[in-house]
Structures are given as C-alpha cells and as structure tokens.
Amino acid sequence: MATGITEPDVKLAKKGLPAGKAAYDLNDGKTGLVLRVGRRGAKWAWRTEVAGRTIRLTLGDIDLLTLTQARALAGEAMHQVRDVRSKVDDDWVRAELVRMRVVPAPPPPEPRKETLKELLDKLDRDKHWTFAQARERYLDEVRRTKREDTWNDYRAILHAPELARFDDTKVFLITIERLAEVIAETHRSGRERRAEKLADCIRPMWTWMASSAQKLSSGVTPGVMKELKAPERSRKEAGQEDVDEDGEPGSYVPPVAEFGRILAICRAGVMHPVVAAAIELAILTVQRRRTIVNARRRGFVVEGDMLVWKIPPAHRKTALKRGDVRTHDLPLNGAARAVVERMLMRNDNSKWLFPGLRPQKAGDIVTHINVSVLNHNTRIMPGVEASPHDFRRGYATHTQEFLDFTLFETKYVLYHNEGIDTQDVTESAYSRARRLQKKAAFLDPWIELVEQAAVAAAPLLPPPGALRAAMTEARKPKLSKPKATPGSVEGDEHAA
C-alpha cells in the first residue's frame, strides 16, 4: 500500500474533479502536507495538531508548487511549529514562498501619506514662529534699536491688511513668491509707494530672523528674501506730477498767500490746539514733519533773550548717518517763539511739545501726535492745496525770489548739515560754531513774510462755524477737499 502523495496523484488532481465525484483530501504522512481536491480545483495545504489545537494553513495552488516544493514547505512548517518562539501563519508562508523563489518579493509598501488635518496638527505643534509671532518679536527689536518713528512706521506696514493672510503661517513656509505676489497686487492697485514700503520692511525682518540668534526659532534660511522688491514705478508722461511718499504732489510750491491762509485757519479756533500749533511751527520753522512731532519740551532752551530749539541728531538723517552727536540749533523769534511758549505753558504731563491725543493702538502709551495728523489736517483745509511736504519747498523758493537769499543761505535752516560739506574735516573735527545769528537772519524774514500773509488771509476766511463744517465734511471718506482760491469763502457752500 502506497504511503503519502505521489506524482500520479498530483497529475490526477490537476485534471479536476470528475462529475459526480465528491471532494477529497490526500495526506502526505508526517509532514502534515495535504492535497485538497474540490470543485474549484486543487491546492496544497498543511495541517497539524499542537497541544490539542489543530493548525491549518493554505500553502498555494497546485500549479504554484511541485510536489517536492510543497513537501519541503510542509516539512519546514512542521519544524517551525515545534519552536515555541516561532509563529507559523499566512505571513510566514508568504515569506517562505519568496525565500524559495516561488513568488517574487512584494514591492515595499508606499509610505503613508499624512492627511491634511494631521499636517495642520503637526504644524500647530511645531515650535517655529508664525508670522504674527515673528512680527512682534522683530518689532520689539526695532523698538530697541531704532527711533520711535521708525518703529511706528514698521509696525504700521507689518500690520497691514495685505499681510494678515500670513498671520497663522509658519515663517519658514512663507516663500518669496507668495510675498512678491502680495506686493505686486498692492502695486497694481496704484499704491506703488506702499508696495515699496512693504518690500523694504519685509527684507530686514527676514534678515533678522535668519541671524544665528533667531534661526532656531524662525527656521528661516539666510538670504531667502534678498531679491524681494516692488515692481518698477509706472512711467510718467511729460507734465505728470511727481508723487511723494504720502501720495501728495511732490513738485507743488504753495504761494505765500496760501501759507498765510494755513496759518490763519490754524488760529481760527476750529482745530485742536495741539494740532494747530504743530502745523504753525512746521510752517514757521520749515522743519521736517518728524522733527516737528518729535519735539521735546526739554529741547527748547532760553539763552539770553533768545529761545533756541536744540534738534537732536536722532531726528536728522544726515547727522545720524555720519555719527554727528551735535544738535542742530534754531533760534526762534516772533511767531515761532510764541507758538512754542504757548505749548510749554500747557499743563501737560508729557515730555513732548505736541502730545498725542489718544494711543495709536489699544494698550499703547500715549506719546506724541502722529506725523500723518499734520497731513490729514492740512488736507481738509478749504482753499489749501499744499501738504506739509511742500512747506520746505516753499521756503527755498520764496526766500530766493522775494527775500534775495542765495540757495546756500537757505541751507542754514533747511539742511541738517547747515550747508557744510559732510566731508569737511575742519567742520567735523574742530568747529563747534552754532551760527545762531546767521540762522536768525535767514529764518526771521521768512516768519515775517508768512505772518503778513496770515494777517491778510484772516478776514477772508469763512465764519468759524462754516469753516469747521467745511473741514468736517472734507474729513469724511470718499469726499474730496473743498477747492477754493485763497480769498474765496467756498467753505460757506460746503457748510450749507
């Protein structure tokens, strides 16, 4: 009697089960190999008992393994099952078939792709700064190292609505392409100077974040924003006006009569006295807007019969760049002195000559009025086309035309280096001359000129109620400033 499965058994099983014949199993003896023949074909199996428990495995189709291969695989399974440390299951069978080169090795499993939620949760757990976090830390650094006005400018730009989309984004994920797109959108909207300011503030912020001390927190790569810049400015046709940094005409020279009208409106009692006084001093001393709003009470000193304004180098661009620690001293006489003394007599517990009316943002300390206050309040004056940027241009022009000053002489008042070449060794190393008398000679006649214009303009103004109503109307959004000649009373029409 034959024992075990034979080759003829295998050949018969491959032919299939004859009609009417029942399915059957052929056992191969001690190896546990079983040839199972049924209606759906024949296959190799393995069966044994361990500690009263039956273990069954399918080894493969009859065409997959020869009898010799099936017997060897069953024998290996019987050997493995005796080792309590081994596990004989379907995974073991697949591994053995690969080892025997009966089937190819399966491809390595594809790495599992994280879901969007998992990625967002991972980023949320990431300790690198978001744009909002990085912005506040960078602004702290700007406030520590730069002057307050620079900090205010950077804060306004970096909190711009255009950048709000990045607030919750990790800064190391923000690409130059995404920021360039924002800047280009701003430029296309016609705000070309604002687009330049965005680029000019973002570049140094990224440079700071890529520094050794910040890189671990930011994850920013050095130089990634080096090429970030706004598109080129639009070409201007002949006759188009230049535009200054606040969008005001950059070539307008206000007539002397217009200077007089501005002074007269400031003194008409229709404006906040602090704002009115700041605009007056800007006209009378023709200093820059930032110099005006940054004026400190302690900077005004009486020397003999003269009031001297000691302007620190922190508010003078050229002096700051060349490391000059000397003050730019201006002698104030007449109406200019009166404005300053009026402000000094106010019972303000502030170090600023022109203290702010309210904090710029909730929680901020009230400092001085913002430079934009000068622009906005001049803009709403009826019959006035000038902006504070034009005051210095008016001085340089009219003092040469009407007072016979030379261009060099205007520099004693206008220029931060007082007309002296910054490379002049004698000036920088030896001279400490303040030139107060010379400056007075080139400032006092200007004050007298615009004061005469203010006296002439005052009777031509609308009544205070109508003037206030016209300025209130001009302050409303999307309404243009009332147009009028210096002598008109168009404010009455707006009041109506």
Q: What is the pLDDT of residue 316?
A: 46
For residue range 177-205, what is the model confidence (pLDDT) as tens digits?
A: 999 999 999 999 888 999 999 999 999 99
Name the more confident of 421 and 413: 413
To the nearest whole percent, how much of the chain has pLDDT over 90? 62
Is residue 234 situated within a structural domain? no
Q: What is the pLDDT of residue 328?
A: 86
Q: What is the pLDDT confidence band of residue 122, given thresholds at 50, 70 and 90?
A: low
* Claim to verify: residue 447 and residue 314 sit in the same structural domain: yes
Q: What is the CATH number of the domain that holds 93?
A: 3.30.160.390
Q: What is the pLDDT of residue 186?
A: 92
* Claim to verify: residue 58 and residue 151 sit in the same structural domain: no
- Is-contact 201 209, C-beta < 8 A? no
Average pLDDT of span 258-265? 97
Average pLDDT of span 126-154? 90
Is residue 481 situated within a structural domain? yes
Start-to-end C-alpha separation, the chain: 127
Computed over every residue of the chain, the mean pLDDT equals: 85
* Claim to verify: residue 79 and residue 140 sit in the same structural domain: no
Q: Which of 413, 416, 414, 410 is nearest to 324 (CA)?
A: 416
Q: What is the pLDDT of residue 425?
A: 38
Q: What is the pLDDT confidence band of residue 490, given thresholds at 50, 70 and 90?
A: very low
Is residue 201 situated within a structural domain? yes
How many degrees, rounded to 5, is the angle at CA 348 between CA 414 and CA 295? 15
Least confident of 93-102, 172-181, 484-493: 484-493
End position of a domain, from candidates 218, 241, 267: 218
Least confident of 86-90, 122-126, 319-323, 481-485: 481-485
Spatial distance between the Cα atoms of 64 and 57, rounded to a whole number of angstroms: 15
Spatial distance between the Cα atoms of 54 and 492, rounded to a whole number of angstroms: 108
- Is-contact 460 487, C-beta < 8 A? yes
What type of residue sits at position 29?
G
Q: What is the pLDDT confidence band of residue 153, given thresholds at 50, 70 and 90?
A: confident
Q: What is the CATH number of the domain that holds 157?
A: 1.10.150
End position of a domain, from candidates 65, 99, 133: 99
Other C-beta atoms lying within 10 Å of the C-beta of residue 144: 8
What residues pair up with 425 in beta bridges, in sequence order? none
Residue 395 has pLDDT above 90, yes or no: yes
Q: Look up the pTM and report it.
A: 0.54
* Claim to verify: residue 362 and residue 284 sit in the same structural domain: yes
* Claim to verify: residue 92 and residue 131 sit in the same structural domain: no
Least confident of 98-112, 127-141, 173-187, 194-208: 98-112
Q: Which of 214-218, 272-276, 490-494 has the highest mean pLDDT?
A: 272-276
Q: What is the pLDDT confidence band of residue 1, given thresholds at 50, 70 and 90?
A: very low
Is residue 13 situated within a structural domain? yes
* Claim to verify: residue 198 and residue 343 sit in the same structural domain: no
Residue 417 has pLDDT above 70, yes or no: no
Q: What is the pLDDT of residue 113?
A: 79
- Angle, in degrees to the nearest 10, between helices 148-158 and 192-209: 100
Hunting for tokens 């984004």 — which residue is that?
Answer: 169
Spatial distance between the Cα atoms of 438 and 446, rounded to a whole number of angstroms: 13
Q: What is the pLDDT of residue 423?
A: 47
* Claim to verify: residue 45 and residue 170 sit in the same structural domain: no
Residue 86: DSSP 8-state: -
* Claim to verify: residue 84 and residue 180 sit in the same structural domain: no
* Claim to verify: residue 330 and residue 438 sit in the same structural domain: yes
Alpha-carbon distance values, 215 to 306, 352, 493 (Å): 54, 38, 61
Average pLDDT of span 132-141? 95
End position of a domain, from candidates 38, 65, 99: 99
Hunting for tokens 């018969």 — which residue is that?
Answer: 12
Is residue 247 situated within a structural domain? no
Residue 392's domain comprises 258-495
Average pLDDT of span 396-413? 93
Q: What is the pLDDT confidence band of residue 109, given thresholds at 50, 70 and 90?
A: confident
Q: What is the pLDDT of residue 83?
A: 81
Average pLDDT of span 21-41? 90
Q: Which of 255, 253, 261, 307 is nearest to 285 (CA)?
A: 307
Residue 31 has pLDDT above 80, yes or no: yes
* Claim to verify: residue 484 and residue 422 sit in the same structural domain: yes
Name the more confident of 150 and 204: 204
For residue range 38-93, what is the model confidence (pLDDT) as tens digits?
A: 988 999 999 998 888 888 999 999 999 999 999 999 999 998 888 877 888 999 99
Spatial distance between the Cα atoms of 141 and 89, rounded to a whole number of angstroms: 65
- Is-contact 317 149, C-beta < 8 A? no
Q: What is the pLDDT of residue 435?
A: 85
Residue 426 has pLDDT above 60, yes or no: no
**What values do phi and psi take at 300, rounded to 5?**
-110, 120
- Is-contact 202 154, C-beta < 8 A? no
For residue range 469-487, what is the model confidence (pLDDT) as tens digits?
A: 999 999 887 544 444 444 4
Other C-beta atoms lying within 10 Å of the C-beta of residue 306: 14
* Claim to verify: residue 191 and residue 297 sit in the same structural domain: no
Residue 396 has pLDDT above 90, yes or no: yes
Number of domains within the chain: 3
Q: What is the pLDDT of residue 479?
A: 41
Is residue 239 situated within a structural domain? no
For residue range 325-377, what is the model confidence (pLDDT) as tens digits?
A: 678 899 999 999 999 999 999 877 899 999 988 776 666 778 899 999 999 99
Q: Indicate the SS3 state at residue 99.
A: helix
- Is-contact 241 252, C-beta < 8 A? yes
For residue range 220-247, what is the model confidence (pLDDT) as tens digits?
A: 999 999 999 999 988 765 445 444 444 4
Is residue 142 situated within a structural domain? yes
Is residue 486 situated within a structural domain? yes
Q: What is the pLDDT of residue 108?
A: 86
Q: What is the CATH number of the domain that holds 343?
A: 1.10.443
Q: What is the pLDDT of residue 375?
A: 94
- Is-contact 34 77, C-beta < 8 A? no
Spatial distance between the Cα atoms of 428 and 413, rounded to a whole number of angstroms: 18
What residues pair up with 54 in beta bridges, in sequence order? 49
* Claim to verify: residue 174 and residue 85 sit in the same structural domain: no
Least confident of 73-82, 140-149, 213-222, 313-322: 313-322
Helices (H), ranges, 256-383: 256-266, 273-285, 289-293, 317-322, 334-344, 371-379
List of E strands, 81-181: none
Hunting for tokens 């599992």 — which residue is that?
Answer: 112
**What values do phi and psi take at 63, rounded to 5?**
-85, -10
Other C-beta atoms lying within 10 Å of the C-beta of residue 199: 21
